[in-house]
Structure 1
Amino acid sequence: MKPRSAENAAQAQAVWAALRPEDRAWLLTVAAQAGPGGAALVGGAVRDALLGVTPLDLDVVIPDADVAALAAGTGLPFVFHPAFGNATVTLPDGRAADLVRARREVYPVPGGNPRPQPGSLTADLWRRDFSVNALALHLSPAGKPTLLDVTGGLQDLRVRVLRPLHPASLREDASRLVRGARLAARLNLGAAPELLSQVPDALDMAPRTPRLWAELKLLLHEPRPGRAAARLRAWGAASLLPDTALLDALDARRDAGATLSMNAYAAALLHAAPDPEALAARLDLGTRPAALLARALSDTFYPDGTPERELRALLRPHAHEPLTGKDVLALGVPPGRAVGEALAHLGSLRRAGQVRNPDEERAALKAFLATKAR
């Protein structure tokens, strides 16, 4: 068994090696310019590197230096956010990296925005949501990497469990429950007892936590939204969303190779919602999901592989694909106005339930043409 110091060094090197070469170079520059406290790569990048996933998002905590001056010193475009003392730097490849002054946070009102206060790197790690997101790779000004684990995140990562850092964590910020479900689904993590015991608090605070709706919208952008929604159901938080069975079905279609955007998942949620307009407003979905849903429920023809066709197969499993203008022409209808009349006639028969498949549509069209010929 390796001594703890040797194990830490090996893990630090593993995280460092998992980073892109250009990211390593940028982090070394930041650490060298950040003063005696150096810089620390924290959160998802460290977690993902330890799981063997190439980190893409860079969240860097600066214990001592002036963040705005440090961002300017990188020579890269950046935006400074004075409320939290953060700077978002645009890397040469277009990705965004966050430079964050080490802080602690207090919640004057549960569910509201936290109030930042100056803090140490350790305090900054303890303010985070889950232990697996509180790991840090500290870089000294000379560039020496050290892995920091002040919350027990390494052990939780080994056993693949998601554990909140504080007894009131989900009451202070109920959006953490949804963020946890997204993370658990993506990385196949289980829920610690401490998380499950806080679910009732999160549900109690959900109506007073505006950030929760933003997290639910982000859930629809996950690689498998149905899996994230299933985590919420399993944890006793199914009430946060309408029936999500359609999300599971869309996951299965995506696994089978279908190309499905966030709008398809949002349309499925709207279909299950008692008040689709209210849900669309809360999730800030815009108009596209509702329009996609309307098209999927219509009788208009859409080719295989389109989101309209994929959704229709789930929402109207017994519906048949209607005849198209090309089909009508092939049955002898002359081009022009007569095609539109024939399609309108077939549409009225479908809505009345008088035709149930393409063969019945063809027979009905022939009868319709015969009456027109008299």
Structure 2
Amino acid sequence: MELPGVPTSLLEELREAAVSIGVSRLALVGGVVRDQLLHQRFGHPWTGVPDLDWVVEGDAVALAAELVRRCGSDRLKALQEYGAFGTVSLQLDGTPLDLATARQEHYPAPAENPVVQAGTLTADLVRRDFTINAMAMELVAGELIDLHDGQEDLASGQLRFLHRCSVQDDPTRVFRAARYAARLEFQLAEESREQIRSTVEQWPWAWRQDDPAPAAPPALSTRLRMELDRLLEREPWRQALDLLEQWQALPLLDRQLQNDRQRTKRLRWARRLGLPLMPVLLMGAADPVAVAQRLQIPGRQQQWLQQCAELLHWLDVDPLPLSAGPSVWSAALEQHNWQPEAVALAVTLRPRPWKPLLRWWGRWRMIQAPQTARDLIDMGWQPGPALGEELRRQRSAAQDQSR
């Protein structure tokens, strides 16, 4: 086995440690197997190895202990153990490794967290999401394990769900599919597209979108948010979101987002204004705050969405005259104590009028009075309401001069 950037000596150390304690199968799994095959066989660029995920058919904790005994603290660092099944992370010769005991799983109910128990390497691969991610490089025997024709799908540039109930069990896999398809420029297999369409249409989950947000199962709430975060932060998000729309998958977030024609424009404005993409995406939902609460996005972003809704209502029912100057707009916006980001969120929707909101966000709110309170006190002003009023007057004059 050869991995670009990974010393052969490290792999040999792992193999010898596994053999010495009787581990029959130790396999490299996950995206690194897929990416290595894409690189070696199909010429995809190699982007490096962030870490190496190994499945141990046996005791991962015992294997880690053997590595400690063989390598010592100079070579092996940052060892940490997690979870009931003894997943161990460590660094060997500076390379991050994760060792996990092979496991199998089943879903007690659609979209709930799976129930996991110890299993075999074969069972561990069965629980993966796509055929191209269900391959393993077995280190002890030195063979590639491909039980689900992942190599064929790599060759044809296809993403294919591993099971006929993949979407029902875990709808976050749909967003993962969009991430991979956008990044790798793969096509989703036709039967997998049909699985998404039919599953979303049937909605096999006990929770409905009109139900209380806290009742949503993990794969339609927090875990879905985590996949969406990865999509928006690390992937070609425009292509990925377009794919989700093509696959009729956006109702997993909110039905109204499926036909959100302003999505790309809003997200481009978000980039321009330096806003996180998540709340801007959710602005297209029927009830952005409710979806944000279900996904459990950061509390401050939920607050922005709530305040943005208040601002838009204010613009509808009590608009300022078009002739209002910078100081009037600034006073009106600031008296509500709306966060600047809430105003910027409103800008992405281009309400009428929107240019004063943009100017307040980009310039007017940052203008200060030319004199400070200390300057005025040095000139003979006494601390108190009159001094504060003078500072406000000077700031308003400075704002109005900035037209």
Q: TM-score, normalised by structure 2?
A: 0.65
Q: 1:319 maps to what in 2? A: 355
CA apart distance, 1:25: 4.8
- Output the amino acid matched with 1:136: A
Question: Which residue in the other structure is 2:4 paired with?
Answer: 18
Conserved 8 A contact 2:367-2:395 = no
Report what 2:80 is aligned to: 78
Query: Which of 40, 43, 49 is the matching residue for 2:36?
Result: 49
| Matched-pair contact (CA < 8 Å) for 2:157–2:186 | yes
Q: How far off its partner does 1:91 sit? A: 2.6
Q: CA deviation at 1:94?
A: 9.0
- State the partner residue of 2:121: 121
* Residue 29 (structure 1) aligned with residue 13 (structure 2): yes
Contact 1:246–1:268 (8 Å) recurs in 2? no
1:55-75 CA deviation, whole Å, 9 max, x = no partner?
323221112x31222233333
Deviation at 1:312, TM superposition (A): 6.1
1:288 to 288, 293, 300: 300
For structure 1, the 5+ residue unaligned runs are 1-12, 347-357, 366-374
- C-alpha distance after superposition, 1:249-306 (max 9, x if no partner): 466568xx86957xx11221343333333222221212232355558979579xxxx9
Does residue 1:185 correspond to 2:182, yes or no? yes
Shift of 1:40: 0.7
Q: Which moved more, 1:230-239 or 1:242-251?
A: 242-251
**Equivalent-residue separation in structure 2 for 1:225 and 1:266 (angstroms):** 11
Give how far 1:344 is off. 6.7
- Contact kept, 8 Å, 2:225 with 2:296, in 1: the verdict is no
Q: In the aligned structure 1, how far is the partner of 2:107 from the partner of 2:346?
A: 45
Report if the CA contact (8 A) 2:30-2:134 is conserved. yes
Q: Report the CA distance shift for 1:92/1:122 in structure 2 as closer, same or farther (over 3 A).
A: closer
Tell me which amino acid in the other structure corresponds to 2:264: D
Which among 264, 289, 298 is matched to residue 248 of structure 1? 264
Q: Relative to 1, partners in 2 of residues 1:66 and 1:17: Cα closer, same or farther, differing over 3 Å?
A: closer
Contact 2:273 2:344 in 1 (8 A): no
| Match status 1:201 vs 2:253 | no
Which letter maps to 1:105? E
RMSD: 3.9
Distance in structure 1 (CA, Å) of the matches to 2:294 and 2:6: 38
Q: Is the 8 A contact 1:102 1:121 kept in 2?
A: yes
Note closer, same or farther for the CA distance 1:113–1:287 as it changes in structure 2 (3 Å cut): closer
Maintained 8 Å contact 2:200/2:252: no
Q: Secondary structure at the match of 1:220?
A: helix
Matched positions, count: 318
Provide the C-alpha distance between the structure 2 equivalents of 1:325 and 1:191, rounded to a whole number of angstroms.
48
Q: Residue by residue, what CA displacement relative to the aligned partner does 1:338-361 show, whole Å, maximum 9, x if unpaired? A: 342466799xxxxxxxxxxx8xx5
Q: Check the 8 A contact 1:79/1:87 in 2, yes or no.
A: yes
Contact 2:90 2:96 (C-alpha < 8 Å) held by counterparts: yes
- Residues 111 and 218 of structure 2 are in contact (CA less than 8 Å); yes or no, is this contact kept in structure 1? yes
Q: Which amino acid aligns with 2:225?
A: L
Amino acid at match of 2:204: M
Tell whether the 8 Å contact from 1:270 to 1:290 is kept in structure 2 after alignment: no
Equivalence map 1:217-232=2 (5 Å): 217-222=226-231, 223=234, 224-232=236-244
Indicate which of 291, 295, 306 corresponds to 1:279.
Answer: 291
Q: Which stretch shows the higher mean deviation, 223-232 or 190-199?
A: 223-232
TM-score (norm 1): 0.70
Residue 341 to residue 295, structure 1, CA distance change in 2 (3 Å): farther
Q: Which residue of 1 aligns with 2:43?
A: none
Shift of residue 179, structure 1, vs aligned partner: 2.0
Question: Amino acid of the residue matched to residue 184 of structure 1?
Answer: A
Distance 2:88 2:304 in 1: 35
Residue in structure 2 matched with residue 107 of structure 1 by the alignment: 107
- Look up the match of 1:89: 89
Question: Where do 5+ consecutive residues of structure 2 fail to align?
Answer: 39-45, 69-76, 208-215, 312-328, 335-339, 377-386
For 1:253 and 1:274, locate their aligned partners in 2 and report how far apart those are by CA, in whole Å: 20
Q: Which amino acid aligns with 2:348?
A: L
Residues 183, 139 of structure 1: CA spacing in aligned structure 2 closer, same or farther, 3 A cutoff? same
Q: Which stretch of structure 1 is more off in the superposition, 191-200 or 221-230?
A: 221-230
Relative to structure 2, which stretch is displaced further, 91-100 or 162-171? Answer: 91-100
Q: In the superposition, relative to structure 1, how do residues 129 and 221 fare at CA in structure 2: closer, same or farther (>3 Å)?
A: closer
| Alignment partner of 1:210 out of 208, 215, 218 | 218
Deviations along 1:169-196, whole A, 9 cap, x unmatched? 2222222222222222222221111211
Rounded to whole Å, the distance in 1 between the matches of 2:16 and 2:220 is 38
